[in-house]
Amino acid sequence: MTKIIDGKAFAEGLGAKISQSIPHFAEQTGRRPGLAVVLVGTDPASEIYVRSKGRMARKLGMESFEHILDEGVSQEELLALVARLNADDSVDGILIQLPLPGHLDSLELVSAIHPAKDVDGLHPVSAGLLASGLPGLVSCTPLGCLMLLESVLGSLSGLDAIVVGRSILVGKPMAQLLLARNCTVTIAHSRTANLAAKVAQADIVVAAVGQADMIKGDWIKPGATVIDVGTSRVIRDGQQKLVGDVEFASAAKTAGAITPVPGGVGPMTIMTLMHNTLLAAYRRNRLADPAL
């Protein structure tokens, strides 16, 4: 029987532990952990994500600071905002919602965030700490995928993993996390030859491409664990639907366990952001990491 991995339930469990760790922080510091989210423009999907992040932060007992800026905001204005948030002691985590409009330089902006507040794990220092095996903040989506994988498989040591996609946000940090857990990792991308044959070798498949149903069910090795990060909006039978990168119905017949879209990785991304904000808050105040 294939296990459908319930990311929503797992995220709720993690959320309960996070909210239990807030009173201790508040006693020690006299305030709540604070998350600042920066959104530029009015992309509807980004607005929904930003709102759900703010709502979740407040629900768990954190403070949420939302900075919604006009589409035409300049790089200099944004850099000045990041500098203010870096200096603001009530802000423990800063997230700049991506993608940004074309006239803005995302890498420069993300690199301006103080690494101690980089709850998205996108700063080059965070990426370097992860690659070096040093403690730092880990990109939310890969961290959530790792938690789901370990909840299903226990130890990942010695398993063959393939990560499809090599973005700084998802694919690369995912591959680093799996490598650190002693997987043998293949990283596939748009120039990869014979993707089907490579996927068929893998005990763990993480798909982070953003193309609906591009990974076919009959590529999956029997019993493999499949984590579907991709989210694409498609019209099916006249209705808008959110679907993943993996052909779910057929993959679910062969896989040992698989995440659905929605209800898999998405809810974990929001909760690992809360997890990272809590960790950043504790660490910035030199408190020992909370038990999560």
Ligand X SMILES: Nc1nc(=O)c2c([nH]1)NC[C@@H]1CN(c3ccc(C(=O)N[C@@H](CCC(=O)O)C(=O)O)cc3)C=[N+]21
* Residue numbers belonging to the annotated binding site: 165-167, 231
C-alpha to C-alpha distance for 150 and 240, rounded to whole angstroms: 32
Per partner kind, with CB cut-offs from 5 to 8 A, the member of ligand X, ligand NDP, none near residue 92 is none
Give the per-residue contact string, 136-165, with ligand X (x = CB under 6 A; - = no).
----xx------------------------
SS3 of residue 43 by DSSP: coil
DSSP state of 215: B
In the complex with ligand NDP, the residue whose CB is nearer, 170 or 177, is 170
C-alpha to C-alpha distance for 79 and 289, rounded to whole angstroms: 30
Give the per-residue contact string, 245-284, with ligand X (x = CB under 6 A; - = no).
----------------xxx--xx-xx--------------
Residues labelled catalytic:
53, 97, 120
- Residue at token pair 């709502």: 55
H/E run at residue 204: strand 204-207
The sign of the dihedral angle between the CA atoms of 71, 76, 77, 78 is positive
Q: Which of 176, 231, 276, 277 binds ligand X (CB under 6 A)?
A: 231
Contacts to ligand X from residues 112-141, by CB under 6 A: 120, 140-141
> What φ, ψ does residue 14 adopt, rounded to 5°?
-65, -40
C-alpha to C-alpha distance for 272 and 292, rounded to whole angstroms: 11
Q: Which residues are annotated as a binding site for NADP(+)?
A: 165-167, 231
Half-sphere exposure of 50 toward its Cβ, with a 13 Å CA cutoff?
23
Per partner kind, with CB cut-offs from 5 to 8 A, the member of ligand NDP, ligand X, none near residue 276 is none
Burial of residue 250, with CB atoms counted within 10 A of its CB: 0-12 exposed, 13-18 middle, 19 or more buried: middle
In the complex with ligand X, the residue whose CB is nearer, 112 or 261, is 261
CB of 47 to ligand NDP, least distance (A): 15
Of the ranges 16-24, 74-82, 95-103, 179-187, which one interacts with ligand X (CB under 6 A)?
A: 95-103
H/E run at residue 35: strand 34-40
Give the per-residue contact string, 223-242, with ligand NDP (x = CB under 6 A; - = no).
------xxxx----------
The contact set with ligand X (CB under 6 A) reads 49, 95-98, 120, 140-141, 231, 242, 261-263, 266-267, 269-270
